[in-house]
Chain A
Amino acid sequence: MTIRTPLGRVRGHGSAKSGTMHFWHQRLSALVLLPLTLWFVWAIVGHVGAPHADVLIFLANPLNAIGIAMFVIAGLFHMLLGVKVVIEDYIHNEGTKVALLVLVHFAVLAIAVTCLVSVLRIIV
């Protein structure tokens, strides 16, 4: 056991140099997602009830395929940052916390790759 204060123990080590990185990335991805979300909602609304062939034509258009891919990547990045904070805020057991964080990273990766592979299958 140490009798040094918590402040005394960290003093002199300097900062981790990443203090605001999470906050900043959350905001950057939020800004990127605003126009992409508008476009996504417009695209979905326009294709509700559309025959499969028409949805395929829409998504096979390179611009739309790029739009969907951007939405998926930005969205899942934003989601990962957000869910991470929620887990860290509410799960106090270290083992459960790490397990959940690993699970969420795995899920985000799986969902992102599923979406992107689907987009590629539609284009080619």
Chain B
Amino acid sequence: MPEAPARRGAAARPLSPHLQIYRWPITMGTSILHRITGVGLSGGTLLLAWWLHAVSDGPEAYAVFESVAGHWFGQLVLFGFTLALVYHALNGVRHLFWDAGVGFDMKSANRSGLIVYGVTLLTTLVIWISAYQSMGTWQ
């Protein structure tokens, strides 16, 4: 991406309308979120590695993982991880349809964006409710 030319002199006028001037289109939000969740999930792979290592290392290492994962902050991170995973997967499906040439017009893209938002929230909640129910069966 080319750099914007440096602005010289006192009259530093904006060169073109900036992001904050526009109303955020739905597709802009979904696109930016896809990147943010992707980067977040990349960091989340550390959690996956930690979990697998803890399981392989034995009950003590696993207990440490469980206590961190069960802490309210750990739960918050894991909830964010779930949200990011579900969003990135669902929006990824949307991208795959686009790549196949399906639903790329403005109207469909806006609609599918809102659908992805809704289904993401719903799916994440279902996953967490199921997880808590499953937790009850182990105790």
- Judged by DSSP, the binding face of B is helix
Per the bound structure, the CA–CA distance linking A72 and B85 in Å amounts to 14
Measured between C-beta atoms, what is the minimum distance from B22 to chain A in Å?
20
Q: How many residues of B contact A (CB 8 A)?
A: 37
Whether A79 lies near B45 (C-beta < 8 A) is: yes
Q: Which partner residue on chain A sits nearest B46 by CB separation?
A: A111
Which residue of A46, A52, A54, A118 contacts B63 across the interface (Cβ within 8 Å)? A52
Measured between C-beta atoms, what is the minimum distance from B123 to chain A in Å?
9
0/1 string, A35-50, CB within 8 A of B gives 1: 0010001001111111
Instruction: Say whether B96 faces chain A, with CB atoms less than 8 Å apart.
Output: yes
Residues of A within 8 A of B (CB): 27, 30-31, 33-34, 37, 41, 44-56, 59, 68, 72, 75-76, 79, 82-83, 86, 89, 92, 111, 114-115, 117-119, 121-122
Known: A30-B95, A47-B134, A55-B55. 11 other contacts (CB 8 A): A34-B92, A41-B85, A48-B132, A48-B135, A52-B55, A59-B55, A86-B35, A89-B1, A115-B49, A117-B56, A118-B57
